[in-house]
Structure 1
Amino acid sequence: MQGQLNLLLLCSGTYEMIILTMAFHEFLTWRISLAWFALVSCLAIGGQFGINAELIRPTILGYFLAPIILNTIMASRLIKVNWVLMLPIVTFLNALKYLITGFTSQLNQWLLNTDWQNPLISLNSWPIFYINFALISGILLGFFIICTLGWLAHYLIIRSNTVTIFYRAALNRHDNALVLITCSGYVIAKIYVLKLGLMAQMYTAALTSIILGGLIFYLVNKNNVWLNDVRLLSDVAHYNEVLSDHNQQLHLFKHDYQNILLSMSQYIAQEDMTGLKRYFEQEVFPNEQLLNQTIAPDQLRYLRAPALSGLIYAKYQTAEHRHVKLEINIWQTLTLPQTDQIKVVRVLGNLLDNAIDAATQADQLVQLTITQARDNVMVTIANQLPNHTTIDLKQISRQHFTTKLGHTGNGLSSIARLVNKQLTVHYQVIGNTFQAQLRLKKSNN
Structure 2
Amino acid sequence: MSDAFRRERYPYLRHNAERVYLDSAATSQRPDAVLDAESAFARTEYAAVHRGSSMATGEATWGFEGARERIARFVGAGEGEIVFTENATDALNVIALGLSDASAGLGGDELALRPGDEIVVTEAEHHANLIPWQRLARRTGAVLRAVPVDEHGLWSVDDLAGVVGARTRLVAFAHVSNVTGAIAPVADVVQVARGVNALTVLDACQSAPHLPLDLRALGVDFAAFSSHKMLGPTGIGALYGRAELLDLLPPARTGGSTISTVTIDDAQFLPAPQRFEAGTQPVTQAVGFGAAAEYLSGIGMDRVRRHEAEMAGLLVEAVEAVPGVRMIGPRAGAERAGLVSFVVDGVHAHDVGQFLDDRGITVRTGHHCAQPLHRRLGVAATTRASAYVYTSADDVAAFGSALAEVRAFFGADR
TM-score range, shorter chain: under 0.3
The answer to which structure, 1 or 2, has the higher relative contact order (CA under 8 A, 6+ apart) is 2
- Larger fraction in strand: 2
Who wins on radius of gyration, i.e. which is larger? 1
- TM-score of the superposition, structure 2-length normalised? 0.22
- Larger fraction in helix: 1
